[in-house]
Chains A and B, each alone.
Chain A
Amino acid sequence: MTEPVLEVEGLTVRFGGVVALDDVSFAVAPGRIHAIIGPNGAGKSTCFNAMTGLYPLAAGSVRMADERLDLLHRRRIIGRGIARTFQNLVLPESLTVADVLRLGRHHRTRAGLLATALRLPRARGERRADDQIVRSVAEILGLEPHLADPVGVLPYGLRKKTEIARALCAEPTVLLLDEPVAGMNDAESHALGECIRECREQYELTVLLVEHDMELVMNLSDHVTVLQSGRVIADASPQQIQQDPVVIAAYLGADAVEMREEAATRG
């Protein structure tokens, strides 16, 4: 495999006495759509949150091109080219879609209080440049007709798209999507999946996503990492994962590690 764009090694996260992530390691290849899946409580979102600096690591590291992301303050993550969405959607209700998308541009711009208050040329110039990017991203995601609407009035599907669009406006190299199709029906999921693929082409992204929707994952991803109870139980292509008895058992409730050990002693 070529040099991975993102490398997670030995990631361990504890909440009090509970081990949420236990020695999780995987690598994300550039330009791939890489999915993290697993039964409920497997630690998928925890993994995302740990990678983006929301939880302190008990052990392990997150690397991007030789730099340790886990040593950075969490607001520096986006500056390294990693933009994420949140499962719960953090959208200020009263802002318009356009404003929300502009938030994605925040880390690329510098106009401060004074420049904005007085509408100095620097602020106006940045605004113009931002608006162009906002418009083009909105177009790709089908949000253009809604740019002037307050986010609060939009239906759920469009709000999810807004969340993703905001991340794209940040011009990331890696896009982290936290359950992008949660709450959507088949048609919507499929459409969004296509959209994600298009974005990957258009923006030359690497996409890392956490998902429950198996169909989307199998159709969309190039590589899958499976978690159960905070541990990696499989890390392979979608086809291999589909046929892996350990993975199947995990989803049906058996303990994957136990199963592996049993299989090893038997054969």
Chain B
Amino acid sequence: MSSPVGPLSRGRILVASLLVVLLIAPYYLDGFWLQLGALAMAAGVAAIGLTLLVGVAGQISLAHAAFVGLGAYGYIVLASEPSDLAWGLGWPPALAAVGGIGLAALGGLVLSPLSGRVNGLYLAVVTIGLVFIWQHVLQEVGGLSGGYVGRSVPELEIFGINLGDTEPWIIAQVPFGAAEKLWWMALLVLVIAYVTARNVVRGRPGIALAMVKESEIGASALGIDVRRGRAGAFFLAALYAGAAGVLVALATQFVTPQGFGFQLSTDYLVMIIIGGLGSVRGAVAGAVFVTALPRVLGQYADQLPFLSAVGEGGIDANVMSVFVYCALLIVVIMFARGGFDRVLGPLVGSPRPRMPAPEPQPVLAEVS
């Protein structure tokens, strides 16, 4: 059921304006902001997948970075030309991108029977193991990752339209290179991810998952196949992660193993919590915030008196960012504030129902 308000509601105008702004932004923005934007949007796609898994289906997963990595490295390996130093299959880039996403999704499917056998908290620990094993594989298998040095990312080309720097598009006498094209590509993928995720959350699978999270027994009594539901959630999360991975690879143009490990998984969890667990638009907002903050702070560090430069031992941009979003995370959880979604809700006026703060229930009762 869609929003009860009419087609020209304030919310829709806001969203439409935002989209227009995002569409014409590349005309005005420089390289730093273009890359940041692409990375933020890619993170948004990944965060959407994770909030489906953690927020809607109620599973803790710390392996998300591994699926993002599968997408990224899948694309790179499939699209790179074979060489002595690193694996490559030389596929057409568009196919490689699909292949990378497919690999990630496959990974998600592999994880799902495990989720059927092993209960929630144990599964969380298993996912930690998976991301550490993945990190290990990336670091040790030089052919895959190029070792500590890393490897470069092949340009994307879809149906002969080059999305790299080799053939810039000229629009209104301004050349648009890889950074701009990638911005639009990321925007397109984000919009698709957003709409499809929203449909799933509000539709039959989404409410079924919400029921599974509430009570597996209750869900079974309604005919819901709990195992398949969970498997589907893992699959979907991994699918989105894979797409994000391809985008991340294209945005950074050079990847190293350190970028796809436990730290990244933690970042994604932070994004979805401060965005509001289970909220698709909150996930995007959280992703933008967590991605942008350290980079923006770093960019303007010399103009900000309370920040020192990176590596000097003082509070630099990265450390400050961690403080800020950890503080937000703690506040959101402790005061059950619903994250960014709570703010976005009234703003965009969407039908996401407003929840009262839950009754504070002590974990352990006080008995004297």
- A117-B207 contact given A90-B215, A107-B222, CB 8 Å threshold: no
Q: Which of B208, B226, B351, B355 has the most CB atoms of chain A within a 10 A radius of its CB?
A: B355
- A90-B225 contact given A103-B207, A116-B205, CB 8 Å threshold: no
Q: Which residues of the other chain, B, contact A166 by a CB distance below 8 angstroms? A: 222
- Range of interface residues on B (Cβ < 8 Å): 35 or more
- Range of interface residues on A (Cβ < 8 Å): 35 or more
CB of A239 to closest CB in B, whole Å: 33
Instruction: Tell me if A79 is interfacial: C-beta within 8 Å of chain B.
Output: yes
Contact of A113 among B224, B225, B236 (CB under 8 A): B236
Contact of B217 among A90, A113, A117, A153 (CB under 8 A): A90
Instruction: Tell me if A102 is interfacial: C-beta within 8 Å of chain B.
Output: yes
Contact assessment for A123 and B196 in the assembled complex, using a CB-CB cutoff below 8 Å: no
A21 to B69, CA, bound (A): 54
- A102-B218 contact given A78-B223, A93-B355, A152-B355, CB 8 Å threshold: no
Contact assessment for B204 and A116 in the assembled complex, using a CB-CB cutoff below 8 Å: yes
Q: Which residues of the other chain, A, contact B202 by a CB distance below 8 angstroms? A: 99
Tell me the nearest residue of chain B to A111, going by C-beta.
B204
A131 to B355, CA, bound (A): 23
Instruction: Tell me if A148 is interfacial: C-beta within 8 Å of chain B.
Output: yes
Contact of B207 among A77, A79, A99 (CB under 8 A): A99
Contact assessment for A95 and B210 in the assembled complex, using a CB-CB cutoff below 8 Å: yes
Binding site of B, secondary structure by majority: helix, strand, loop or mixed? helix
Contact of B351 among A79, A148, A152 (CB under 8 A): A148
Instruction: Tell me if A112 is interfacial: C-beta within 8 Å of chain B.
Output: yes
Tell me the nearest residue of chain B to A101, going by C-beta.
B207
Instruction: Tell me if B295 is interfacial: C-beta within 8 Å of chain A.
Output: no
Q: Which of B218, B225, B236 has the most CB atoms of chain A within a 10 A radius of its CB?
A: B218
Contact assessment for B213 and A92 in the assembled complex, using a CB-CB cutoff below 8 Å: yes
Q: Which residues of the other chain, A, contact B207 by a CB distance below 8 angstroms? A: 92, 95, 99-100, 102-103, 106
Contacts A/B (CB < 8 Å), 27 sampled: A75-B220, A75-B221, A75-B224, A75-B225, A76-B223, A78-B222, A86-B215, A86-B217, A90-B211, A90-B215, A90-B218, A92-B207, A92-B211, A93-B214, A93-B358, A94-B355, A103-B222, A104-B222, A106-B207, A106-B223, A109-B204, A111-B205, A113-B235, A117-B196, A118-B196, A153-B355, A166-B222
B residues with CB within 8 A of A? 1, 4, 196-197, 199-200, 202-208, 210-211, 213-215, 217-226, 232, 235-236, 278, 351, 353-356, 358
